[in-house]
Structure 1
Amino acid sequence: MEIHIEKCSAWCGNLRTSQDWQQWALGEMQYKDEDDLPGLKEIPAMQRRRLSKFAKLTMQCVLETLADEKETLPCVFSSRHGDLHKTSKLIEDVAKKSDLSPTHFGLSVHNAVAGLYSIFSNNKQPMTATSAGEDSLLMALVDGYAKLESRQLDKILVVYTDEIVPEKYSSYVSDAEKTMSVALLLTRQKSEYVFTLNFKPQKNKISSSIFQPLVFLSFLYGTESQVAIDSSRYQWHLSKV
């Protein structure tokens, strides 16, 4: 499949602008862990106060990517863990037999941020929430491409967000995982970023120690013409056109 990306916005540590990502991909800028969150001044304070860190990062990348769009677009939201910090707190409350907050529960599910964005932007286009383990970003691209082509859409937004998991879950994931969000505007027209994406099942399961979103952004902004990515389930191959 040939994927055209018109615009990309990503936030991870100190890497927040296209220039930051380009310099990082070229080895001219080092990644640093930073906990600063976007201001999101365009969102009313009452709505902004309800947003978790996970939701704020997602909304920042979505709004930045769609800033120049005049029409609302279909969206694919993806995450491996979802807003796990919120979910983890709910699980602890269940264990303690404490009352659960319906609001907190409603905002912990995988499609919660899609709903928040839909309300804020009055976007009534179709939206889906996907999760595919460590392959969540790349599978979201596959989903976005399938919708784009099958429905003959002009554009579709693909979003991926995850946080570093709570400490109690850290032994189950790779140390390479970072807190980050990335929004990609896919189009069927000629665009700045064009690459082919192919994948097939992994014959021999392996233990992956990479963080796919960072590998993908290094490929997108860097000079490498192609990259192979192995996960425990799939072999991916990306090649610039």
Structure 2
Amino acid sequence: MRLENLEEYTGLKCLWLECNGLQKIQNLEAQTELRCLFLHQNLINKIENLERLQKLDSLNLSNNYIKTIENLSCLPVLNTLQISHNQLQTVEDVQHLQECQSISVLDLSHNKLDNPTVINILEKMPNLHVLNLMGNELIKKIPNYRKIVTVRLKGLTYLDDRPVFPKDRACAEAWARGGREAETEERERWETKERKKIQDSIDALSEVRRQAEERKRMKEMDNKG
């Protein structure tokens, strides 16, 4: 199927084109207001012809046949890129990502990435906060994968299937500095701090109740007087 006849729809903000058997990204030049473009579950093998979409925030290319990430650095506000279930394999296939400085959410899951040095590319994405690498061989090749990626990608708040909480980051960084012993000590510090926070909340509530009871008692005494 060919993507065409969109010229008159110049004000579109979102465009859903999934599951259409599309083989090529084309004829989107008039869609200059587009914020979201959904092209997943098609037959696309090349990222191209997106230069006019200067307001594009979210792009879904999952479940296609793309072998190389390219031609995206021309999108200055691209925040979310979903490109899972494609044919990405080598470091070179994803190298272009380091030129895509605005990307915050990146889904690379279920590709064929097998080289741990892919992380070197991801390190150069300053705004990356959410990353999914599940289903790629490189995960098995990085010992202590979750800790390593958390330490190296300083801005991550979500990795694969769960959040990276401040406690997780602090423990991972302690592990990187001093091994398991340092990690255990850091975890104990956080647990102590969390227990104190809970106890402080209980104490504060008890004080509120005490003051309320005191006011009630004083009022009763005044009424008797």
Q: Where is the strand percentage greater, Structure 1 or Structure 2?
A: 1
Q: TM-score scaled by structure 2?
A: 0.21
Structure having the higher Rg: 2
Q: TM-score scaled by structure 1?
A: 0.20
Of the two structures, which has the highest relative contact order with CA contacts closer than 8 Å and spacing of 6 or more? 1
